Amino acid sequence: MNKIYEQYRKKITGQERFVRIAKRRVDRIMDALEKLGGCADQRNYDYSNTDIKKIFGKIEKKLKETRLKFQGTLKNKKEVT
């Protein structure tokens, strides 16, 4: 890596990096959910309650797994300090 990049990277705190990256990723998730909502139009799509349960079951499972990752990290951080 070049020196300019190294100096820039050192000036950015972990919190600033987290906010920048997390915001971008959350925005992409929100956009994807907005697009998924477009599939709710029954004039264009045919689906059942089972289909809906499968979709939201997968989303909720992944959301829970991701939340637990953050909670576990915070718990470990508190134990160390």
pLDDT for 26-72, tens place per residue?
999 999 999 999 999 999 999 999 999 999 999 999 999 999 999 98
Q: What is the pTM for the complete model shown?
A: 0.73
* pLDDT score of 81 more than 60: no
Element (H, E) at 64: helix 49-80
Which of these, 32, 33, 14, lies nearest to 22 by C-alpha position?
A: 14
Give the pLDDT band (50/70/90) at residue 79.
low
What residue spans define the domains of the chain?
1-45, 47-81
